[in-house]
Structure 1
Amino acid sequence: MASAPDGDRFTVEVRHEGGAVVLALTGELDHDTAEPLREALEAALAEDGARLLIDFSGVSFCDSTGLNAVLHGRLTAQENGGAVALVGLRRPVERMFRITGADTVFDVYPDVAQALAAGTGRGLWQS
């Protein structure tokens, strides 16, 4: 876990659900707090074919460092036959993904349950 300068904590909770690894993020994701996310992405994507959902529903802010970490995770997953989807994008996080065009390279869902349901239908989240 990392503490943001203003005292908000950034955390990454890792859990396995429906054949996917879910990274549930909370707090402000920026240059000073991105390392736990990078570490969690690296661990989650260590297996070939890993299926990863990144849950942003608890994130109140994300800067370019966070965006780059997520984009790098996506590339790693693709190289290893895996997939990454995003869930729970809230304003202003959703806006940053939209204006950079990053929302077009990810499947984006309102919540984990809908992502798992959609992925199962396409064979993405099956174990």
Structure 2
Amino acid sequence: MADPSVETIASGRCLVARVSGEMDYLTDPLLRPQFKELIARGDRFIVLDLSGVSFCDSAGLNVLIGAWRQADAGGAVLVLACVPQPLRRILQMTGADQLLRVYDTVSDAEAVFGA
């Protein structure tokens, strides 16, 4: 299993972070600090591109919600883009899609922020 990775790209007014790999209880300790560091950079608008996420369970979902809370507390807006269908279903089933805004593409998310 490859470790998950978070690659960032500054794009206009947004910071786009492409998340790859699995998001589960095993990768939780690797991902949390990466998201924390990402949000601590102080960008106002953060788009998590989840197109590279191969698997996500409840622990992965908790990481996403934790990142959203941290961003929100710091006055930043964190949204999701390119969410794989299985993860989209989890977001809908748990109601997390009421909290985490989901966009079909990174461009759609950036457009909302006027990027």
> What TM-score, normalized to structure 2?
0.88
SS in 1 for 2:84: coil
Alpha-carbon contact 2:15-2:43 (below 8 Å) kept: no
Alpha-carbon contact 2:13-2:113 (below 8 Å) kept: no
Large movers: runs of 4+ above 6 Å = none
1:36 Cα deviation (Å)? 3.2
Tell me the residue number matched to 2:21: 27
Tell me the residue number matched to 2:12: 18
Paired AA for residue 54 in structure 1: L
> What TM-score, normalized to structure 1?
0.81
Gaps in structure 1 of 5+ consecutive residues: 1-6
Gaps in structure 2 of 5+ consecutive residues: none
1:64 aligns with 2:64: no
Paired AA for residue 63 in structure 1: D
Alpha-carbon contact 2:47-2:106 (below 8 Å) kept: yes
Tell me the residue number matched to 2:101: 107
Percent of residue pairs bearing the same amino acid type = 32
1:96 aligns with 2:74: no
Paired AA for residue 5 in structure 2: T
Q: RMSD of the TM alignment (CA)?
A: 1.7
1:74 Cα deviation (Å)? 1.1
Alpha-carbon contact 1:60-1:91 (below 8 Å) kept: no
1:40 aligns with 2:34: yes
User: Pick from 80, 96, 110: which aligns with 2:74?
Assistant: 80
- Deviations 1:48-101 (Å, cap 9, x if unpaired)? 563211111111210111111111111111111111100011121111111001
Give the structure, 1 or 2, with the largest relative contact order (CA under 8 Å, sep 6 or more): 2
